[in-house]
A = this chain, B = another copy of it.
Amino acid sequence: MRTVFFISDRTGLTAEALGNSLLTQFTDTEFKRVNLAFIDSTEKAKMAANKIKEASECDGKPALIFSTQISHKYHQLLIESGGIVFDFFDAFIPKLEDVLEAKSSHTVGLSHSMNDTHTYGNRIDSINFVLNNDDGLNTKNYKTADIILTGVSRSGKTPTCLFLAIQYGIYAANYPLIEDDLNTINLPDILRKHKDKLFGLTINPVRLQSIRDERRSNSGYASIDQCRKEVNLAEDMFVQNQVPFIDTSHASIEEIAGRILNKTKLKRRY
């Protein structure tokens, strides 16, 4: 067991993304993760150094520290803590300064800051767009949508739409294929009008059953026969109408969104 600290003078999101990507490559070690965000004063840095020291003593091995601290004021404290520092800025900034023939500004808090109010407003608008056009409740704004996800109930449409909005500022609507829609192989009228924006999600029927079962246990809706029937009919509809689609069964929200972006070449707004 090794304790891992993610240390940042801001949110720590980059330190975590960095560290976790690396740690997933070491499957035989068990890690205990500690996130120390907003370490932006001597007092907090000392507190962090103490925690690192304690963890290293407790583990009997030095803790790992993934740091994205831009300020170097507290760097020495981390090193003296006895942990092993993987410093993100140290690793790349010197080479970047060299390549760009420029000095880095060494300013804290730029990476997740609200640099551009206008772009930022767009991002909030795209989130609101998802909420207002979720689950086929509202189809009159499809003209404004960048993409319309469709698929059977619980195939992952809403989480994917939200991620597309939050991460990329994309206006994503979603339309659930219900039994009425699946009685024919033709696209529902409202979708046919916006065929170019359509993207299908499909899912393994057994996985779908388990997801539905958690919500409505032992219902017809969650039966394997029903799941299999709906999935087959939906896939037939996608194929027949040349709607691109992907299988969400074993993919995270990030992967689904990333693959959609990759396949559609959709332009990001954020």
Chain A residues at the B interface, C-beta cutoff of 8 Å: 2, 10-14, 17-18, 20-22, 24-29, 37-38, 62, 64, 68, 70, 84, 86, 88-89, 91-93, 95-96, 99-100, 102, 104-107, 109-115, 120-121, 123-124, 127-128, 131, 134, 158-159, 162-163, 166-167, 211, 214, 250-255, 257-259, 261-262
List chain B residues, Cβ under 8 A from A21. 14, 68, 88, 110-111
* A105 engages B2 (CB within 8 Å): no
- Smallest CB–CB gap between A121 and chain B, Å? 7
What are 5 sample pairs from A and B whose C-beta atoms fall under 8 A apart?
Answer: A11-B257, A11-B258, A22-B89, A38-B258, A114-B251
Q: Which residue of B lies closest to A249 (CB)?
A: B114
Residues of B contacting A10 with CB < 8 Å? Answer: 255, 258
Question: A91-B91, A258-B11 are contacts. A106–B25 as well, Cβ < 8 Å?
Answer: yes
**Chain B residues whose CB sits within 8 angstroms of the CB of A86 once the complex forms:** 92, 95-96
> Once the chains bind, are B254 and A24 in contact (CB under 8 Å)?
no
Q: How far is the CA of A29 from the CA of B252 in the complex (A)?
A: 35
Residue of B nearest to A258 (CB): B11
* Chain B positions within 8 Å of A14 at CB level: 17-18, 21
Closest beta carbon of chain B to A52's beta carbon, Å: 14
Find out whether the CB atom of B166 lies under 8 angstroms from the CB atom of A252.
no
B22, B159, B166, B214: the one within 8 Å of A253 (CB): B166
Taking A86-B96, A92-B91 as contacts, is the C-beta distance between A258 and B37 under 8 angstroms?
yes
